[in-house]
Structure 1
C-alpha cells in the first residue's frame, strides 16, 4: 500500500507541476525531473524556451526521449502556439529535430512564402514524410472503396460471371416467379454489376478553403485528391481558394507540390470558388462537388446560396465538409450550414478515415444525410 501511495503522489506531482501549493511534498530526479522540466517549459507561467535555437533543440530532444510521439506532437503544437516559436521553424536545424505531423505541415504551409532558401528543403522533407505516411494509411483504402462503388453503380442485365450478379436486386426483380412448392425464386432476369470501364464515369471537384483555420483539411484534401486523380474512371479537379482561386489540378500527381502551391491564411470568397468549380463540370448528372470550408463567407452570401441551388438543380451532387480532419467540427457559420441543409445539401465534419466510405456513398448516389447520421455524432 505504501508503494501504491508513493506512486500516486509521484504522478500527482508530475500533474501539478510542483511548487509550494501542490501539497505532495515529492521531489523528482532522473527521467521524472527531465519530463517535469520539459512540461514546465511550455505549461508553467514562469516557463518558456526563449528565442534560443539551441535551447529549443535540446527541449525537442528531451520531449522525444520522455514521451510517445503522439504526446510529442501535442507538446510541439502547444509550444508553437503558446511560446511563439514559429520564427524558429525557419531554421533548418529546428525542422530536422521536430516530430512531423499534420499540424506542423499546416504551420509550414502558412510560412511557405517567407521560408528562407536554407530551410526550404528541410521543410519539404518534413511535408514529404507526413504525406507519405498519410498515403500509406489512406490512399489504398480510398481507391478500393471508390473502385467498388463505381462497379456497383453500373448495372447490367447480362452479367458475364456469377461474381458479377447483384443477388439482392436479382431476387427483388424476380419475386413474381417465386415457386412455393420449391421455396425458391426462378430468376428469369439477372441484374449484375458491369465490369470496370476505362472511360470517365464520374467527375469529382474538390473545392478547398485555404483560410488559416482549415490547414489540416488542406493537407488531407491534397492526399485524397492525389489518390482520386490516379483513377482513370474519375476526372478529378482540385481548386484552393481564399479571396482568389488557384486551380491546382495539374499538381495532383504530387501532393507535396500541390500543398506548396497553396497559400494558407487568406480571406474567403466561397461564391467565387463555386463559380470557378461550376465551369469545370461538363456532366452535371455524373458529378460530385465537395466543398471543404467552415462557410464563413467573405463574398456575396445570397449569390453563393443561389449558385449551390443551381448546381444541385442541374444534377450535381454537392457535399459540404466543415472540416476534413481528426479534430471534429471547427467554428463554422451555422446560418450558412442551415441554409444549405434546407436545400438538401448536408454540411458536416468528416474524419479522414471516414472519407473513403463517404466517396463510395456519393458515387452510388446514396442518401448522404442518412450516411452522416450513421457515421458521425
Structure 2
C-alpha cells in the first residue's frame, strides 16, 4: 500500500493472510482492491484462512450452486491474482466447494483458467458431460495440451534424437560401415610411433565406430503403459502429450496403453492428444498385471524395446504375477522403467512394497517431472543409468 509505514504494511499483509476470523489483533480493515481480494479468498477458504485448507475446519463461506455467482467469482480471481494462484484456487474450489458439477455448463468452462488439473476434472466428468458442453470442454483440453506440447516437444525431440543417433552407431561395423573420422578420434590414445620414421606413426583402432544405421532394424519400440486411476490424472495428461511427441519421431515406434481394471490401446489416436485424453476413463480400479500382460504380448524385439510403466503401483490385480512379468520382460532384454508419477505435483503417494520389489529387479520406481522425462527416455534408449531424482522412489 503506497505511503504505508513498515508496521502498517506488515499488519496489512497479516490481515490478508489470516482473514477476518483470525485477524482481530491486526486492527486493519481491507479497503479497495484489498477488500475485493479478501472477499474472493473468504468465499473459498472462509474468514479464518489460517484454519482452512485441505483437511481443515469447516468453511464459513461458499459459492453455493448459483452459476452466475460462480462465474463472477472466477472472473474476480482472474482479475486479482496471478495465473498460478488462480489455478490453485480453481483446484481447491473443485475439491472443496463442489465446483466440478458446474463445469458441465459451457459458460463455466469459458470463465476458468485452463490447466492440467482442470483437464483432469473434465476427463473425470466426461461420461456425464452433455453435448452442449463437450465442444467447449475439448477446446479447453486442446489449449492445455497445445501449451504443454509447445513447452516440451522441441527439447524432447532434440534429446531423444541425440540418444537414438548414439545408440544407432554400430559397435562392430562391417568395413564399408566404418566411420573412419570418428574411429581415429576415438583411438588417438593408441597412437604408436613407427620406428626409424621421425614424426610418423599409426593409430591402433581398438574400437571401431560405425555410421548410424538407417535401416528399420535400429528403430526403437516404446510402449507407454499408463494407469488411468483417478489419482493419476495429471500423469495421464502429460503422458498423452509425450506419446504424441514420441509418435511423431520416425526413428521410434510408439504404443500408448491405458488401463484400470481393463486395458485400452490408444495407439491409433496418438496423432491428437485430445482424442487420446477423451479416450481415457479416469477412476475405477487398477490391474497392472493385466496391462503388463497386454504390453508383453506386443513386444517383438525385446532388445530394442523400452516399456515405461506410469503408475502409483497400488495394484488391485495379482501382485506376485505383476512382479514376475516385469522380471520376465527385463530378462528378455526389455528396458523397463517405472514412473510413480509424470507431473509437477511433488512426491506422490505410492505402494512402497511394490516399488521395492521392482527396484530389486533393477527397475527402480521414481516420480518424474515433465522436464526430466526426455532425459529418462534418452537414458533408457541408450541403456545407461537413469537420472533418478534425489527424492525418487
Which residue of structure 2 aligns with residue 197 of structure 1?
214
| 1:129 maps onto 2:164 in alignment | no
Q: How does 1:1-377 map to 2 (within 5 A)?
A: 3-19=5-21, 21-44=23-46, 45-156=59-170, 165=182, 170-171=186-187, 175-177=189-191, 187-189=203-205, 191-192=208-209, 194-195=211-212, 197=214, 199=216, 201-368=219-386, 371-372=387-388
Give the C-alpha shift of residue 7 in structure 1: 1.0
What are the ranges of 5 or more consecutive residues in structure 2 without an aligned counterpart? 47-58
Cα distance in 2 between the residues matched to 1:142 and 1:180: 47
Cα distance in 1 between the residues matched to 2:296 and 2:248: 22
CA contact (8 A) 1:198 1:233 kept: no
Give the C-alpha shift of residue 114 in structure 1: 0.8
CA contact (8 A) 1:328 1:350 kept: no
What is the RMSD computed on CA atoms of the aligned residues?
2.4
Cα distance in 2 between the residues matched to 1:201 and 1:119: 42
CA contact (8 A) 1:152 1:194 kept: no
> What is the number of equivalent residue pairs in this alignment?
370
- Give the TM-score normalised by the residue count of structure 2: 0.89
Cα distance in 2 between the residues matched to 1:269 and 1:75: 33
Cα distance in 2 between the residues matched to 1:154 and 1:36: 59
Q: Deviations over 1:207-233 (max 9, x none)?
A: 000000000000000000000011111
Cα distance in 1 between the residues matched to 2:199 and 2:352: 54
CA contact (8 A) 1:155 1:191 kept: no
Give the C-alpha shift of residue 83 in structure 1: 0.5
Give the C-alpha shift of residue 176 in structure 1: 3.5
Cα distance in 2 between the residues matched to 1:269 and 1:241: 7
Secondary structure in 1 aligned to 2:250?
coil
Cα distance in 2 between the residues matched to 1:201 and 1:281: 13
The change in CA–CA distance for 1:374 and 1:14 in structure 2 (over 3 A counts) is: closer
The change in CA–CA distance for 1:339 and 1:6 in structure 2 (over 3 A counts) is: same
What are the ranges of 5 or more consecutive residues in structure 1 without an aligned counterpart? none
Q: Deviations over 1:265-284 (max 9, x none)?
A: 01000000000001111100
Give the C-alpha shift of residue 177 in structure 1: 2.6
Deviates more, 1:25-34 or 1:95-104: 25-34
Give the C-alpha shift of residue 186 in structure 1: 5.1
Cα distance in 2 between the residues matched to 1:362 and 1:375: 20
Give the C-alpha shift of residue 84 in structure 1: 1.0
Deviates more, 1:206-215 or 1:138-147: 138-147
Give the C-alpha shift of residue 126 in structure 1: 0.4
Q: Deviations over 1:91-146 (max 9, x none)?
A: 00000000000000011011111100111011000000000000000011111111
- Give the TM-score normalised by the residue count of structure 1: 0.92
Cα distance in 2 between the residues matched to 1:153 and 1:126: 39
